[in-house]
Amino acid sequence: MELFESMGESVDAVLVEGPRDEEALRRLGFKGRVELHSRIGCSDEDLVDRLVVSSRTVLVLTDFDAEGRAMNRKLTVLLERRGVKVDLWLRRTIGRMMAVLGVYAIEDLDNMGARLSENGL
């Protein structure tokens, strides 16, 4: 998938909720850096601290359910307050693509690779 393969050119890291989300991105061709929100013992502030020193632009790619959207808003505010640009365009683009496919969890994208290609997404 061209979109996922090229994301590494526009962001320094993609922040996802868990390991299955990372696996889905890898299956879709993303080869860049992925940070997991679900690390045990790592607070949101610790995660942001780590990203601040290593990233200028981050994609917060949490799920598109209520919990994921709330997490996205919180992390976006924390990152932007610390000077890290959050790529909102990529998140919206992926969100629209997922809505067309009827999926809302990032981890479900790996099962949708063929449908993405069929739909020209």
User: Residue 90: which CATH number?
Assistant: 3.40.1360.10
Number of domains within the chain: 1
User: Which pLDDT score, from 0 to 100, does residue 42 have?
Assistant: 81
* CA Rg value for the chain: 14
pLDDT of residue 113: 60
Range of the domain at 28: 2-115
For residue 121, the model assigns a pLDDT of 53
DSSP letter at 32?
A: S
The answer to the question of residue 76 being in a domain is: yes
User: What pLDDT is recorded for position 118?
Assistant: 65
Kindly give the parts of the chain with pLDDT less than 50.
Answer: none
